[in-house]
């Protein structure tokens, strides 16, 4: 057996059609004879085999087998390719693949000799000189074995120097056994570690005609190539310690910063939970930090000077504020706030919603692959912001949702849910479809199904506005013009919302007139919530026009009653004025008579 140390050997075997079956059997025996003389194993010599003709086939790699029995079984199972003779291609495969560390070759710094044994019986059908030079420059020692018809010039172009030790030409396959013995002698040679004073501090590794030194685990070889020094295991940065790495001889241990403890994996650290000791005395919450702990108050409370107790400062938590949406505390007071898109009413507590009347609203959203899952969640939030604007009820506004990609799916029809909360919950449960963008198909589905009375649309005779909102982020893969036109002709008011790569021409084709009031665009998904206000102003026009007086029949009757009462009062005053005028005339007449009587007496 070879005792000169480990090798990485790859057999490159010619299995072209010129190699007859009984000759190929001789090559099998040739490989097994050489393997039989080697000390094989994961830490000893490793062997790989590839065969080639017009193509290259890997039989087994350097990392596949580590016993002679397994290797011989694989060699006996080889089926010859029986095609051309692409020797250059085979050498290139050996260099790039067979001798790669991924396929089991030891790294170059290990200095394990890499040996390729090329066996061929003919002239190569491709160029071998250049690729063989590259392989030798990569550190591969090439033995070229030619049989019968092999071309000597090609063998010399392949082999490593000196050529007289690496080129063999035998007259027949039967004589290849003689080469096997010569090759064994060249590989095995003399154990140089035994023949001379090697000077290695730790371990001497013998190679054909030479030797090299290796160090024990935890040490590295010095520049003199013989002595060894302890390795700083922390220096290479691969220790995995989360905080501190402390090097020991050939090894290391992980330590943690103050206030942390080492976990069971002996690498990561966790902060000590000082609050768990139970002696913090915090009234509300205890917060651990590496230096100890501190107390924190719940929202609406202020930490007192003793750093432990809390006092309420949030009036929203201490009074019945009556805010419909949200109460915000201010210094010594509070104020009410409404969601975006709604306005605070005159009472300072209630929030306005769409007051333009009842509508049947169907939202058609793009669920194509280009939207992506995280953006589809933003689309659902956008839909729910619109729902927040509406007074949803069976007799008020109804909402339906359709999603489309390469196909169309009704998520829920107009008559499915009867409150905003039910709709918003259903929207958040919608699953992303992915695939294509068939906007035209979605418009057809909306016209033919979504606004049908069967799915909850109120009859046209009720004069309930029908509104369709189409959301898309890209160009449609089908024609939209026909069904966009049909939708508008059927009385549906169409809104188009585009994001990202949406095509403006398609959005305008979908939108109702005037287009500028029914078409919106946002550059990306994160800013599209700004479009909600545009939509609000168009479906709730009074929101942008100040106060709009809406008079009910009862209010009209009150006005008529007021007018009637006023006329009655005016008539009463007129009658009184007439009586007063008559009395005044009578008094005037009597005064005139008295004046005449006085005149006669004088």
Q: Which two tokens stand for residue 544?
A: 């942008």
197 occurs within a structural domain: no
Q: C-alpha 534: how far from its chain's center?
A: 31
- Model confidence band, residue 542 (pLDDT cutoffs 50, 70, 90): very low
Q: How far apart are CA 220 and CA 202, in angstroms?
A: 10
Contact 50, 59 (CB under 8 A): yes
The candidate with the shortest Cα–Cα distance to 151, out of 179, 124, 174, 116, is 124
Torsion from C-alpha of 87, 89, 95, 99, nearest 10 degrees: -80
Tens of pLDDT, residues 393-417: 888 899 999 999 999 999 999 999 9
Full domain range(s) for residue 340: 314-353
Are residues 585 and 480 both part of a single domain? Answer: no
Q: How far apart are CA 413 and CA 417, in angstroms?
A: 8
The candidate with the shortest Cα–Cα distance to 156, out of 188, 124, 113, is 124
Are residues 404 and 501 both part of a single domain? Answer: yes
206 occurs within a structural domain: no
Rounded mean pLDDT, 442-449: 95
Contact 123, 153 (CB under 8 A): no
Percent with pLDDT over 70 in the chain: 81
533 occurs within a structural domain: yes
164 or 314, which is more confident: 164
- Model confidence band, residue 238 (pLDDT cutoffs 50, 70, 90): confident
- Model confidence band, residue 351 (pLDDT cutoffs 50, 70, 90): confident
Are residues 394 and 440 both part of a single domain? Answer: yes
The pLDDT of residue 50 is 97
540 or 119, which is more confident: 119
Are residues 21 and 133 both part of a single domain? Answer: yes
Are residues 346 and 397 both part of a single domain? Answer: no
Three-state DSSP state, 526: helix
Contact 183, 117 (CB under 8 A): yes
Output phi, psi for 239, to 5 deg. -70, -30
Are residues 583 and 477 both part of a single domain? Answer: no
Q: How far apart are CA 526 and CA 375, in angstroms?
A: 8
Percent with pLDDT over 90 in the chain: 44
Rounded mean pLDDT, 20-26: 86
Residue 142 has pLDDT above 70, yes or no: yes
| Dihedral sign for Cα atoms in the order 456, 462, 464, 468 | positive
CATH of residue 11: 3.40.50.410
Among 188, 213, 230, give the residue marking a domain's end: 188
Q: Which two tokens stand for residue 593?
A: 């008579």
The pLDDT of residue 310 is 86
Q: Which two tokens stand for residue 460?
A: 């046209």
Q: Which residues pair with 214 in a beta bridge?
A: 203
Among 188, 212, 235, give the residue marking a domain's end: 188
Are residues 434 and 391 both part of a single domain? Answer: yes
The candidate with the shortest Cα–Cα distance to 102, out of 48, 57, 143, is 48
Long-range contacts formed by 417-424: CB under 8 A, 24+ apart? 417/392, 418/392, 418/393, 418/394, 419/392, 419/393, 420/387, 420/388, 420/390, 420/392, 423/384, 423/387, 423/392, 423/399, 424/384, 424/387, 424/388
Are residues 349 and 456 both part of a single domain? Answer: no
Contact 181, 34 (CB under 8 A): no
392: exposed, middle or buried (Cβ count in 10 Å: 0-12, 13-18, 19+): buried
> What's the total number of domains in the chain?
4
Contact 270, 260 (CB under 8 A): yes
Are residues 388 and 531 both part of a single domain? Answer: yes
253 occurs within a structural domain: no
E strand or H helix that includes residue 255:
strand 251-255
Q: Which residues pair with 147 in a beta bridge?
A: 170
The order of strands in the sheet holding 114-120 is 56-60, 46-52, 8-14, 114-120, 140-147, 167-170
| Dihedral sign for Cα atoms in the order 41, 43, 44, 46 | positive
Among 294, 323, 353, give the residue marking a domain's end: 353
Contact 399, 431 (CB under 8 A): no
Are residues 471 and 582 both part of a single domain? Answer: no
CATH of residue 334: 2.10.25.10
Are residues 489 and 510 both part of a single domain? Answer: yes
209 occurs within a structural domain: no
Q: How far apart are CA 472 and CA 438, in angstroms?
A: 10
Which of 8-22, 182-196, 247-261 has the weakest average pLDDT? 182-196
Tens of pLDDT, residues 464-516: 899 999 999 889 999 999 999 999 999 999 999 988 888 999 999 999 998 88
Contact 382, 528 (CB under 8 A): yes
Q: Does pTM surpass 0.75?
A: no
In angstroms, the first-to-last Cα distance of the chain is 180
Residue 287 has pLDDT above 70, yes or no: yes
Are residues 87 and 128 both part of a single domain? Answer: yes
């Amino acid at each position: 057996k070879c005792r000169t140390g480990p090798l990485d050997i790859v057999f490159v075997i010619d299995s072209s059609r010129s190699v007859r079956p009984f000759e190929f059997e001789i090559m099998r025996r040739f490989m097994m004879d050489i393997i039989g003389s080697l000390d094989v194993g994961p830490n000893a010599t490793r062997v790989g085999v590839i065969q080639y003709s017009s193509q290259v086939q890997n039989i087994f790699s350097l990392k596949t087998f580590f016993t002679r029995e397994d290797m011989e079984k694989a060699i006996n199972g080889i089926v010859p390719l029986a095609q051309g003779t692409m020797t250059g291609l085979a050498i290139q495969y050996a260099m790039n693949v067979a001798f790669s560390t991924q396929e089991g070759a030891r790294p170059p710094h290990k200095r394990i000799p890499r040996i390729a044994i090329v066996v061929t019986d003919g002239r190569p059908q491709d160029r071998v000189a250049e690729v063989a030079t590259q392989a030798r420059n990569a550190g591969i020692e090439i033995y070229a074995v030619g049989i019968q018809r092999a071309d000597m010039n090609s063998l010399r172009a392949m082999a490593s120097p000196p050529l007289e030790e690496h080129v063999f030409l035998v007259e027949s396959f039967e004589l290849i056994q003689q080469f096997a013995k010569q090759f064994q002698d060249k590989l095995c040679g003399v154990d140089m570690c035994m023949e001379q004073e090697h000077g290695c501090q730790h371990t001497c590794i013998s190679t054909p005609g030479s030797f090299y030194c290796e160090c024990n685990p935890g040490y590295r070889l010095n520049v003199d190539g013989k002595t060894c020094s302890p390795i700083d295991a922390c220096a290479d940065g691969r220790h995995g310690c989360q905080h501190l790495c402390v090097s020991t001889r050939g090894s290391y241990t992980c330590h943690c910063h103050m206030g942390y403890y080492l976990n069971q994996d002996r690498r990561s650290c966790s902060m000590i939970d000082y609050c768990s000791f139970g002696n913090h005395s915090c009234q509300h919450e205890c917060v651990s930090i590496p230096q100890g702990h501190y107390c924190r108050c719940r929202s609406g409370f202020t930490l007192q000077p003793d750093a432990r107790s809390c006092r309420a400062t949030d009036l929203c938590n201490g009074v019945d504020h009556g805010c419909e949406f949200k109460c915000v505390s201010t210094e010594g007071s509070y104020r009410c706030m409404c969601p975006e898109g709604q306005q605070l009413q005159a009472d300072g507590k209630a929030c306005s919603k769409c007051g333009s009347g009842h509508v049947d609203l169907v939202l058609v959203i793009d669920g194509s692959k280009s939207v992506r899952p995280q953006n589809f969640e933003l689309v659902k939030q956008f839909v729910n912001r619109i729902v927040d604007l509406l007074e949803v009820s069976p007799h008020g506004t109804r909402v339906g949702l359709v999603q489309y990609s390469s196909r169309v799916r009704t998520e829920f029809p107009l008559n499915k849910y009867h409150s905003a909360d039910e709709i918003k919950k259903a929207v958040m449960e919608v699953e992303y479809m992915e695939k294509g963008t068939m906007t035209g198909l979605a418009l057809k589905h909306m016209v033919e199904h979504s606004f049908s009375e069967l799915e909850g649309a109120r009859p046209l005779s009720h004069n309930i506005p029908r509104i369709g909102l189409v959301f898309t982020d890209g160009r449609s893969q089908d024609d939209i013009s026909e069904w966009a036109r049909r939708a508008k002709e059927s009385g549906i008011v169409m809104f188009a919302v585009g994001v990202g790569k949406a095509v403006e021409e398609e959005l305008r084709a979908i939108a109702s007139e005037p287009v500028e009031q029914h078409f919106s665009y946002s550059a990306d998904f994160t800013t599209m919530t700004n479009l909600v206000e545009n939509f609000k102003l168009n479906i709730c026009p009074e929101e942008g026009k100040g106060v709009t007086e809406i008079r009910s029949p009862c209010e009209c009757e009150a006005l008529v009653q007021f007018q009637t009462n006023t006329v009655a009062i005016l008539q009463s005053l007129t009658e009184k004025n007439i009586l007063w005028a008559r009395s005044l005339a009578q008094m005037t007449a009597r005064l005139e008579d008295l004046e005449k009587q006085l005149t006669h007496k004088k």
